[in-house]
Amino acid sequence: MVKALRAVASWFDSSAADVSVPVDAAEAGRIDWLRTLPYLGMHLACLGVFWVGWSPVAVAVAIAAYAIRMIAITGFYHRYFSHRSFQTSRPMQFIFGVIGASSVQRGPIWWAAHHRHHHVASEQPEDPHSPVQHGFWHSHTAWFLTKEHFGTDQRRVRDLLRYPELRFLDRFDIVVPVLLAVGLFMLGGWLERTAPELGTSAGQMLVWGFFISTVVLYHATFTINSLAHRWGSRRYATRDDSRNNFWLALITFGEGWHNNHHHYPASARQGFFWWEIDMTYYVLRMLAALGLVWDLKPVPRARRDAHRREAGA
């Protein structure tokens, strides 16, 4: 009973799941079904579309919510918090931390800690989302549902722990998504009353703007763990099985150039060549032009052209 109550409490406060206590080896790799019920509920909630229907406004909001939050995940959770590939101010760091948290992919500290571990142990048995080691299902989604990966290895993110606002986002990672869901529901209700000609409703805005948009964002993001280590081309002979995949790059705004990324993770740009579409990098360049971010780390020419020297050897 105590374990069940602790699992439920962790829905609202991640510190309730005492991660300082080592997880029993027999239990470590098992999915904690009670704690992950909200994640499963997000998927089931998408079925609400059969009751609420759709409207152009609701679908447009869903697309916008997907795009904005994808930039927050790829540009800030990944390229900034995980790899420090550019610099920004503390307010901007927090703003995009909040937007990233609205994606329901935990807080920026947890996300960065696990991603840094992935690069250290890529494609090794201890890499939790390696499809080579653990198969598609585990690498795509099951790994973060297990008890052993609920916690954060704070040794990997000491640079982020000094910000109390980021620690708050990690501890209460459910707050921002709930506020977003409530805000969208209220917006839909207001539009239904004040602009009935739009044909939208509170239910539509909640289902499309939050649930459907978030679940699509989930699985688009997760493909980089699962599919981008299986399907695609390998320009660089990295020690892992990372691949470049044009289609994944499109839906993840540039993350699909995954072999490029594993070859030189420090770069703010993952599409190394002009023909490799990298929407996240274009947005970062725009933010840099506005003075909101700076010192975007480039790809050194020698590192970018390493494959040509190897081919000529």
Rounded distance between C-alpha atoms, residue 12 and residue 174, angstroms: 6
Let me know if residue 75 belongs to a domain: yes
Q: Return the percentage of the chain with pLDDT > 70, whole number.
A: 89
Q: Cα 310 from chain centroid?
A: 33
DSSP state of 303: H
Identity (one letter) of the amino acid at 77?
Y
Let me know if residue 272 belongs to a domain: yes
Let me know if residue 257 belongs to a domain: yes
Least confident residue range of 122-126, 201-205, 214-218, 243-247:
122-126
Residues 6+ apart with CB under 8 A from 198: 55, 56, 57, 191
Structure tokens given for 298: 């480039």
> Taking a C-beta distance cutoff of 8 angstroms, is the pair 80, 96 a contact?
yes
Structure tokens given for 109: 């500290």
pLDDT digits (tens, 9 = 90+) for 4-33: 556 666 667 676 654 444 555 556 667 888
Strands (DSSP E) contained in the chain are: 87-88, 293-294
pLDDT of residue 142: 85
Let me know if residue 4 belongs to a domain: no
Q: Is residue 313 very low, low, confident or very high in pLDDT (cuts 50, 70, 90)?
A: very low
Give the domain extent around 173: 38-312
Q: What number is the average pLDDT over the span 300-311?
A: 77
- The pair phi, psi for residue 220, each rounded to 5°, is -65, -45
Q: What number is the average pLDDT over the span 26-51?
A: 87
Let me know if residue 29 belongs to a domain: no
Identity (one letter) of the amino acid at 254?
G
Rounded distance between C-alpha atoms, residue 78 and residue 66, angstroms: 16
Identity (one letter) of the amino acid at 92?
M
DSSP state of 147: G
Closest CA to 167 of 113, 108, 115, 104: 108
Structure tokens given for 70: 């994808």
Q: Which residue has the higher pLDDT, 180 or 11?
A: 180
Q: Which residue has the higher pLDDT, 127 or 189?
A: 189
Q: What number is the average pLDDT over the span 195-203?
A: 95
Let me know if residue 42 belongs to a domain: yes
pLDDT of residue 31: 81
User: Residue holding tokens 């602009």?
Assistant: 195
> Taking a C-beta distance cutoff of 8 angstroms, is the pair 270, 243 a contact?
no
Residues 6+ apart with CB under 8 A from 75: 96, 280, 283, 284
Domain count, the chain: 1
Report the 10 Å Cβ neighbour count for 167.
16
Let me know if residue 21 belongs to a domain: no
Let me know if residue 17 belongs to a domain: no
